[in-house]
């Protein structure tokens, strides 16, 4: 069984802005506890499509491949609300769901959608993200997907450059005042990579 607590610790570091937006500065520990409860209640489904890199029994990187077949938004939203309300209360749950769903994406049948690209700080710029994305691309090909898609903040120049180097191209720009308000990022590039 994958160590969900270690994955959450990695995501809390890698996506600090998202955790802050969802749970507030003082609520990050409670928010992580709520997400862990959610993952535990969902069992193996919670981490479906996630690739995990380990080094000396430590989780050092992740990426997730979502597909059209995996979408089950109604169940996820219901499970999320219940798990979060137990720990965060009503208003904390509203804030968390809003912040965590700001960049929701309707995955197309022919798309492999990439999320959760995270690498522990000491292992960044080591090629680990490239390796994880290569695994995701191989899996997408096995699932007969014709392209990969992902969102990256326009201000995240390092990640943008990596994706360009790996063959991704910008298909469109998404602008959102809500992401500006919660994540202090207004523009997001939707990038794609053809797999055929």
> In this predicted structure, which of 41-45, 72-76, 161-165 has the lowest mean pLDDT?
72-76
pLDDT band for 78, please (50, 70, 90 cuts): low
Q: What is the structure's pLDDT at 176?
A: 78
Q: What is the structure's pLDDT at 127?
A: 95
- How far apart CA 106 and CA 119 sit, in angstroms, is 25
pTM: 0.87
Architecture of domain 4-194: 3-Layer(aba) Sandwich (3.40)
- Is there a contact between 78 and 132 (Cβ–Cβ < 8 Å)? no
**Residue 54 in tokens:** 């380990």
Given a cut of 50, whether residue 43 has pLDDT beyond it is: yes
| Token pair 């979502």 in the structure block, residue | 66
Q: What is the structure's pLDDT at 9?
A: 92
**Residues ≥6 apart with Cβ < 8 Å to 107:** 66, 67, 68, 70, 71, 113, 149
Give 110 or 22, the one with higher predicted confidence.
110
Given a cut of 70, whether residue 72 has pLDDT beyond it is: no
Q: Domain extents for the chain? A: 4-194
Given a cut of 70, whether residue 79 has pLDDT beyond it is: no
Q: What is the structure's pLDDT at 74?
A: 41
Measured CA distances, 90 to 44, 86, 94 (Å): 27, 9, 6
């Amino acid at each position: 069984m994958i160590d969900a607590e270690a994955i959450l610790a990695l995501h809390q570091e890698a996506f600090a802005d998202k955790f802050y937006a969802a749970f507030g500065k003082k609520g990050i520990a409670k928010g992580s506890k709520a997400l862990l409860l959610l993952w535990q209640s969902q069992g193996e489904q919670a981490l479906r499509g996630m690739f995990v890199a380990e080094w000396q029994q430590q989780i050092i990187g992740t990426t997730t491949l979502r597909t059209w077949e995996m979408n089950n938004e109604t169940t996820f939203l219901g499970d999320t609300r219940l798990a979060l309300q137990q720990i965060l209360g009503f208003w904390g749950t509203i804030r968390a769901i809003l912040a965590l769903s700001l960049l929701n994406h309707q995955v197309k049948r022919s798309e492999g959608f990439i999320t959760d690209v995270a690498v522990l700080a000491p292992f960044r710029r080591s090629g680990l993200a490239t390796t994880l994305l290569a695994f995701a691309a191989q899996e997408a090909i096995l699932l007969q997907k014709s392209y990969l898609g992902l969102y990256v903040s326009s201000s995240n120049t390092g990640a943008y450059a990596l994706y360009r180097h790996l063959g991704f191209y910008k298909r469109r720009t998404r602008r959102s005042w809500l992401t500006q308000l919660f994540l202090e990022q207004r523009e997001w590039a939707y990038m794609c990579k053809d797999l055929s």
